[in-house]
Amino acid sequence: MNINYDYIEEYIRSILKGGYGELSRLRDYANNNNIPIISPEVEQFIRILLKVSDAKNILELGTAIGYSALIMAEAANPDAKITTIEVRDDMYEMAKENISANKYSKRIRLIKGDAKEVVPKLNERYDFVFLDAAKGHYLGFFKDCIKKLNYGGIVVSDNVLYRGMVAKDELINKRDKTIVRRMRNYLDYISNLDGYITSVIPLCDGVALTYKEG
Ligand SMILES: C[S@@+](CC[C@H](N)C(=O)[O-])C[C@H]1O[C@@H](n2cnc3c(N)ncnc32)[C@H](O)[C@@H]1O
């Protein structure tokens, strides 16, 4: 179930169609193999955020096949670097192949591992974090990531409304109860955190934008 009217989403996608350049093959592959990647409208939103923020050091949690990492490499400042973390062996191998075959490969560092263990060990600071790994663990990921986030930096969290379940009890499936409870805690935490401003946007499956003041 989508959180927006289907006709609105279909209309927005119809005007974006054809805009994915050489990465369209990867989007098709993901769609045909049920691999969840960013929606076309979230993709455009991230492109604009990267341009407006001029982020130079980017961190992504949840690489899958490397699609969003490549999109970010294409959209960001030509000097920007991207570190992306993936826990699953099969996804990591596909991402490695897709990234190494791409002209932006030198700017992307792909790390295999659980973001919960990898992020605390990173010794760089970031301007932009894209949170797109296990949805039930966003709060832990966020707390680790903001320790590495520069002032003026942003965290973008995808799927935060979780097919609308986060906003309405009647929509919750039994098996998603824990994720929904955790996502509500997460949104409550980031929306009321001193020194940060958060906006929850009902774009696609819900996107939260958190800005670190200072
Ligand atoms: C929604 S997909 C990422 C899609 C990708 N960002 C894109 O838009 O092209 C989520 C990915 O996060 C990975 N993942 C889940 N939990 C993780 C964790 N704890 N650490 C690293 N990766 C994780 C999953 O294996 C999956 O490939």
Band of residue 13 on the pLDDT scale cut at 50, 70, 90: confident
Is 78's pLDDT higher than 90?
yes
- For residue 40, the surrounding DSSP H or E stretch is helix 40-53
- For residue 179, the surrounding DSSP H or E stretch is helix 177-191
CB of 87 shorter than 6 A to ligand 1: yes
pLDDT digits (tens, 9 = 90+) for 85-96: 999 999 999 999
- Tell me how far the alpha carbon of residue 93 lies from the centroid of ligand 1, in angstroms: 13
Q: Global pTM?
A: 0.96
- Exposed/middle/buried for residue 38 (C-beta within 10 Å: 0-12, 13-18, 19+): buried
6-212 CATH, one of 3.40.980.10, 3.30.470.20, 3.40.50.970, 3.40.50.150: 3.40.50.150
- Rounded to whole angstroms, the maximal C-alpha distance in the chain is 47
pLDDT digits (tens, 9 = 90+) for 38-74: 999 999 999 999 999 999 999 999 999 999 999 999 9
Q: What residue's CA is closest to ligand 1, atom 26? A: 64
- Exposed/middle/buried for residue 139 (C-beta within 10 Å: 0-12, 13-18, 19+): middle
Q: Choose one of 25, 58, 86 to mutate for the ligand 1 pocket test, by most ligand atoms within 8 angstroms of C-beta.
A: 86
Using an 8 Å Cβ cutoff, are 183 and 138 in contact? Answer: yes
- Tell me how far the alpha carbon of residue 177 lies from the centroid of ligand 1, in angstroms: 20
Over range 8-16, report the average pLDDT: 88
Please give the Cα distance from 160 to 167 (Å, whole number): 10
- Tell me how far the alpha carbon of residue 39 lies from the centroid of ligand 1, in angstroms: 14
